[in-house]
């Protein structure tokens, strides 16, 4: 992406809001400082293994404090400027319970800069590599107790959405996903919404925000099977069980692209 427009800026800001600990794993290996400033008193920089690989992380300065490399508190606009520069990455800081309480922006390594450039082009390398590969074997149970086995879903087009309640971009796209699911009320397609939240929390959320996919709680292990590195992630699998489409984040053409891909697979 060589030209930055307001629309592209919005897409990128949404893309970076929700990520996972696995996508930040390498970032925790570099020191931003050898001594915590007063602002981070009682916190320690995350080290390898401190955060579960598929733990959703909210990169949102309105909910989790963000600091620049000089430990000055920054707002959402300043955070996006640093991210968009492809020069800085967020480094998690934890309390004694290993909960993420703050992020510090530090200079990115050359490898991290390459990864961010790939994300700006629309798809991380590990997700694009999924396309054309067989779906991993999985079994999930939705909040109503219905069981879905990957082996039993062969012959159907499978549409997966990985999300969680606290993820603002995930919630933003739910109305559009609902419209898509209403377009394809057929026996040969299934929509699964794989959330990281527990069943009780999901039921409370769904009372005010309906989501017409089959909602599956506590789906971290399934997300790991599909190498999900950010939220929301949508994956479409054809009737033969081959992954055909992967998207990360919320973009202006998400609905059209998802609808087009589903139509192509249903017509085969």
- Note whether 82 and 139 are same-domain residues: no
What is the token pair recorded at 252? 């202006």
Counting runs of H as helices and runs of E as strands, what totals does the chain give? 8, 14
What is the Cα gyration radius of the chain?
19
Residue whose entry in the numeric block shows the structure tokens 């570099």: 30
Q: Is 179 left (phi over 0), alpha (psi -120 to 50) or beta?
A: alpha
pLDDT at 23: 59
Positive/negative CA dihedral, 62, 207, 255, 223: positive
- Note whether 184 and 257 are same-domain residues: yes
CA angle 229, 249, 114 (to 5 degrees): 60
- Note whether 192 and 212 are same-domain residues: yes
pLDDT at 250: 74
Task: Round to whole Å and give the CA distance between 167 and 19.
Answer: 9
The answer to whether residues 168 and 17 touch, using CB atoms and an 8 Å cutoff, is yes
pTM assigned to the model: 0.70
Number of domains in the chain: 2
Residue 54 is assigned to a structural domain of this protein: yes
pLDDT at 118: 60
pLDDT at 151: 94
The answer to whether residues 233 and 240 touch, using CB atoms and an 8 Å cutoff, is no
| Residues facing 20 on adjacent strands | 56
- Note whether 188 and 255 are same-domain residues: yes
The answer to whether residues 91 and 103 touch, using CB atoms and an 8 Å cutoff, is yes
DSSP string, 36-51: --GGGTT-EE--TTSS
Peptide bond into 185 cis (omega under 30): no
pLDDT at 50: 80
pLDDT at 119: 58
Quote the domain boundaries for residue 42.
6-120
Task: Round to whole Å and give the CA distance between 216 and 130.
Answer: 22
Per-residue pLDDT tens listing for the chain (268 residues)? 222 333 333 333 334 446 665 555 444 444 444 456 777 888 988 877 787 766 667 777 878 899 999 999 998 888 878 877 878 888 889 999 988 899 999 888 887 777 666 655 555 555 578 899 999 999 999 999 999 999 999 999 999 999 999 888 889 899 999 999 999 978 799 999 999 999 999 999 999 999 999 999 999 999 999 988 788 899 999 999 999 999 887 766 778 889 999 999 988 7
**Final residue belonging to a domain, choices 95, 120, 145:** 120
- Note whether 135 and 72 are same-domain residues: no
**Final residue belonging to a domain, choices 89, 120, 151:** 120
- Note whether 82 and 206 are same-domain residues: no
- CATH number (domain holding residue 263): 3.40.30.10
Residue 218 is assigned to a structural domain of this protein: yes
What is the token pair recorded at 135? 């779906």
């Amino acid at each position: 992406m060589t030209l930055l427009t307001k629309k592209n800026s919005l897409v990128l800001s949404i893309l970076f809001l929700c990520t996972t600990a696995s996508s930040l794993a390498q970032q925790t290996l570099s020191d931003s400082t050898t001594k915590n400033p007063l602002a981070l008193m009682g916190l320690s920089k995350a080290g390898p293994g401190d955060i579960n690989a598929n733990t959703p992380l909210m990169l949102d300065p309105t909910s989790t404090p963000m600091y620049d490399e000089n430990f000055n508190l920054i707002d959402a606009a300043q955070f996006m400027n640093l991210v968009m520069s492809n020069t800085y990455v967020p480094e998690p800081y934890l309390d004694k319970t290993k909960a993420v309480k703050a992020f510090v922006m530090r200079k990115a390594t050359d490898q991290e800069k390459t990864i961010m450039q790939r994300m700006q082009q629309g798809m991380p390398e590990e997700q694009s590599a999924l396309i054309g590969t067989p779906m991993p074997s999985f079994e999930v149970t939705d909040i109503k107790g219905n069981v879905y086995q990957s082996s039993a879903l062969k012959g159907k087009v499978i549409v997966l959405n990985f999300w969680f309640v606290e993820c603002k971009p995930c919630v933003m796209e739910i109305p559009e996903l609902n419209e898509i699911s209403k377009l394809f009320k057929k026996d040969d397609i299934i929509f699964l919404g794989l959330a990281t939240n527990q069943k009780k929390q999901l039921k409370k959320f769904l009372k005010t925000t309906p989501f017409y996919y089959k909602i599956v709680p506590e789906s971290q292990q399934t997300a790991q099977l599909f190498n999900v590195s950010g939220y929301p992630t949508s994956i479409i699998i054809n009737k033969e069980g081959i992954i055909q489409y992967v998207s990360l984040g919320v973009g202006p053409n998400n609905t059209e692209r998802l609808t087009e891909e589903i139509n192509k697979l249903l017509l085969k």
